[in-house]
Amino acid sequence: MALCVADAGGRSSSCRDGKAAATLKLISIFVIFFTSVVGISLPVFLARLFQGKPAYDKAVLIIKCFAAGVILSTSLVHVLPDAFDALSDCQVASRHPWKDFPFSGLITLIGALTALFVDLTATSHVENHGHGHGHGEITEKKRKKSEYTPIGLSEELGKKMEEGGAAAVESKCLSSSGDGDLSTEAEAEELVKLKQRLVSQVLEIGIIFHSVIIGVTLGMSQNKCTIRPLVAALSFHQIFEGMGLGGCIAQAGFSLGTTAYMCFMFAVTTPMGIVLGMIVFSVTGYDDSSPNALIMEGLLGSLSSGILIYMALVDLIALDFFHNKLMSSHAFLKKASFIALVLGSTSMSILALWA
């Protein structure tokens, strides 16, 4: 267990200025909203602009790997340490049961297992839905072919054999087999597309948790020394995180309305959190450094971290590097994707110097 260390510098009375903090928070609402829109819209716009071009799939894959690095770094370097610090604060760590057990790690584990449960449940539902509809139709077609095709083929076989045309029969059978392969391939592509959409939706839920925590914490803070560098760092944070989520949304192929809705929700979540934090503080005078606020921040941050870690490692990195046919067939693309992954992780990790 970590030692309880009082943080005298971060909560210095000289930095607590309500009017200056309120001005900075109002500025941050517009700045963070703008950077969030830019970050999430850029990959979506580029994907729609270059869709159908020869390098489209490769470019989207590289952007997605960069996004995976950003999300993994966000969870491990930003969210989890903040949650751990909140639950390690002297006001919390000196009380039962918080001093007896590492709850930040436990809640992170619960977040990862929850993401796995949601992933398994949704994937099972998608597969059962496919078997109940599309697969059922294909099975019915195959049944009809098994009932009627052999007779027709046997009659045609007798005629063709008499005419010395056995090759034509072989060609017809190969053609029929090809149709089955095409339908199976189409089913597989549809399931992959549904999986990508599920990943994007669950990923956005995890990011929204994180964004709400950031916004409410910033909105309740009265420390101008903390807010000033935090606004600048969060602006870059939202750009990189938005690019990560936007890359996943672009690859999932949502409709225009759904894409716009998901982009809008990401862009407004942090500003809404700031407004909510300001309202809560003005109505209740709730202190962001109180034990209850620290416990809530630590628990929600740990839960969000677990979700983001699972999504980054399992549904983004493992899925692309080990199960993507395009990457496995191009050695150069695999190297470029790994470099993009490292760059995404590095860029997000550097921001931890300021926020």
Answer yes or no: is pLDDT of 314 > 80. yes
In whole angstroms, give the CA distance from residue 189 to residue 134.
13
Q: Predicted confidence band at 127 (pLDDT cuts at 50, 70, 90)? A: low
**Average pLDDT of 258-271?**
89
In the prediction, which pLDDT does 338 show? 93
The larger pLDDT score, comparing residue 276 to residue 63, is at: 276
Contact indicator for 291, 95 with CB cutoff of 8 Å: yes
In the prediction, which pLDDT does 167 show? 46
pLDDT, tens digit, 9 for 90 and up, residues 61-87: 887 788 788 888 888 888 888 888 888
Place of tokens 């807010």: 227
pLDDT, tens digit, 9 for 90 and up, residues 142-171: 444 444 444 444 444 445 444 544 444 344
Residue 305: partners with Cβ closer than 8 Å, 6 or more residues away = 75, 76, 79, 80, 83, 108, 111, 210
In the prediction, which pLDDT does 122 show? 67
Answer yes or no: is pLDDT of 250 > 80. no
Place of tokens 């195959």: 142
User: Which of 27-31, 86-90, 233-237, 279-283 bottoms out in mean pLDDT, i.e. has the lowest?
Assistant: 233-237
**Average pLDDT of 300-327?**
82
Answer yes or no: is pLDDT of 6 > 60. no
Q: Predicted confidence band at 208 (pLDDT cuts at 50, 70, 90)? A: confident
In the prediction, which pLDDT does 109 show? 93
User: Which of 26-30, 121-125, 132-136 bottoms out in mean pLDDT, i.e. has the lowest?
Assistant: 132-136
67 φψ region: left (φ > 0), alpha (ψ -120 to 50), beta (else)? alpha
Helices 134-162/103-132 angle, 10° precision: 40
In the prediction, which pLDDT does 161 show? 44
Residue type, 219: G
Answer yes or no: is pLDDT of 332 > 80. yes
In the prediction, which pLDDT does 341 show? 92
Q: Is the pTM of this model over 0.85?
A: no
Q: Predicted confidence band at 355 (pLDDT cuts at 50, 70, 90)? A: low
In whole angstroms, give the CA distance from residue 70 to residue 242.
9
In the prediction, which pLDDT does 11 show? 42
SS3 16: strand
> What percent helix, strand, coil does the chain show, rounded to 5?
85, 0, 15
Question: Residue 223: phi, psi to the nearest 5?
Answer: -95, 105
